[in-house]
Amino acid sequence: MKSVPVWIWYTALRVLLFAVPLAVLLIVGVNPWVSAAVAALFGLSASLIFLRRARDSMSSDLYAARHREKPLVHEDAETEDAAIEHDARER
């Protein structure tokens, strides 16, 4: 079974850290604008405190994907390049 990528966990937890306080505040009857602002501040601060490991892992994965030593080449691209080079040699 494949594990879920870190960015999906991080995003889901960030959404929950915003949605749960928002729902609680709206159920209590707080003004929607105030509820959204408080939930956003809570979600931001809680994610900075509690999701550090996931954020670091996600940033490391993004850095590794952007700074590969050898560019990622797909099989189709290799086949197309070989066909183009073959046609160029025949001419």
Whether pTM exceeds 0.75? no
What are the boundaries of each domain within the chain?
A: 6-90
Rounded-to-integer distance, Cα 15 and Cα 31, Å: 20
Provide the token pair at 54. 């996931």
Amino acid making up residue 81: D
Q: CB burial class (10 A; 0-12, 13-18, 19+) of residue 68?
A: exposed
Reported as a single tens digit per residue, the pLDDT across 44-82 is: 999 999 989 988 988 888 888 788 777 666 777 677 777
